């Protein structure tokens, strides 16, 4: 059996988005990226976007209430009933507890958290390249280093959180996209 209510966890630039897209296509489940939703809100100039913009440009996390609200609305949509791939949410233990509560109310549970381990130097190089290719202003070296610091302080504790729940699988995130995908596929077997 393959887990289909998934969370991909890892530092910025670990390849979560790439792998989440592949998993969503393979299993016919939605990729739920709060980062993408927040960037769309910024581009659209919505109230949420205006509130999030300054924080994102400084590499800071958007407040839990905003992120949880965006994620809750998306998880409530019909296409997420059979499964989903979370990418970028939760980012803190408080968000993880809110997610657990949301899923509990729906009679669901997260089936697997896949933590991708990637060398920090490789991440900086990946994100600087992404900034050039995609024109993302939030990917400059100072912001990347700040995002890494925030990840270590606020998101990395989720590894222990999900380990205690017995749903954590740690995979090496270094290598080709296909190599990492194969490792993740193995980690999804229940």
Q: What averages of pLDDT result for each successive group of 10 residues across the chain (190 residues)? A: 93 92 96 86 83 80 84 89 92 94 92 95 88 80 88 94 97 96 93
What local confidence, expressed as pLDDT, does residue 66 receive? 84
**pTM (2 d.p.):** 0.86
Choice among 5, 112, 126, 147 that is catalytic: 147
In 3-state terms, what secondary structure has residue 169?
Answer: strand
What local confidence, expressed as pLDDT, does residue 68 receive? 87
To the query of whether residue 91 is one of the catalytic residues in this protein, the response is yes
Range of the domain at 127: 5-187
- Could you give the number of structural domains in the chain? 1
What local confidence, expressed as pLDDT, does residue 76 receive? 87
Q: Report helix angle 93-105 to 157-164, nearest 10.
A: 40
Q: What is the CATH number of the domain that holds 114?
A: 3.40.50.300
To the query of whether residue 149 is one of the catalytic residues in this protein, the response is no
What local confidence, expressed as pLDDT, does residue 97 receive? 96
Q: How far is CA 79 from CA 28, 74, 83, 128, in A?
A: 9, 9, 8, 34
What local confidence, expressed as pLDDT, does residue 4 receive? 95
Choice among 16, 22, 53, 126 that is catalytic: 16
CA-only gyration radius of the chain, Å: 16
What local confidence, expressed as pLDDT, does residue 57 receive? 79
To the query of whether residue 145 is one of the catalytic residues in this protein, the response is no
Query: Residues 6 or more apart from 161 whose CB is under 8 A from it?
Result: 93, 96
To the query of whether residue 16 is one of the catalytic residues in this protein, the response is yes
To the query of whether residue 105 is one of the catalytic residues in this protein, the response is no
Choice among 22, 91, 112, 126 that is catalytic: 91
């Amino acid at each position: 059996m393959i887990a289909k209510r998934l969370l991909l966890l890892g530092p910025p630039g670990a390849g979560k988005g790439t792998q989440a897209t592949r998993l969503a296509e393979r299993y016919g489940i939605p990729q739920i990226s709060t980062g993408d939703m927040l960037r769309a809100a910024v581009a659209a100039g919505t109230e949420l976007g205006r509130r999030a913009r300054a924080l994102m440009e400084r590499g800071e996390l958007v407040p839990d209430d905003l992120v949880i609200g965006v994620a809750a609305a998306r998880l409530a949509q019909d296409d997420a009933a059979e499964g989903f791939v979370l990418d970028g949410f939760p980012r803190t233990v408080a968000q993880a507890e809110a997610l657990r509560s949301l899923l509990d109310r729906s009679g669901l549970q997260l089936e697997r958290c896949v933590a991708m381990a990637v060398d920090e130097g490789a991440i900086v190089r990946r994100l600087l390249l992404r900034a050039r290719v995609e024109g993302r202003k939030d990917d400059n070296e100072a912001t990347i280093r700040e995002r890494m610091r925030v990840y270590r302080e606020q998101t990395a504790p989720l590894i222990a959180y999900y380990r205690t729940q017995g749903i954590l699988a740690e995979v090496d995130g270094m290598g080709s996209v296909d190599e990492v995908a194969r490792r993740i596929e193995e980690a999804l077997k229940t």
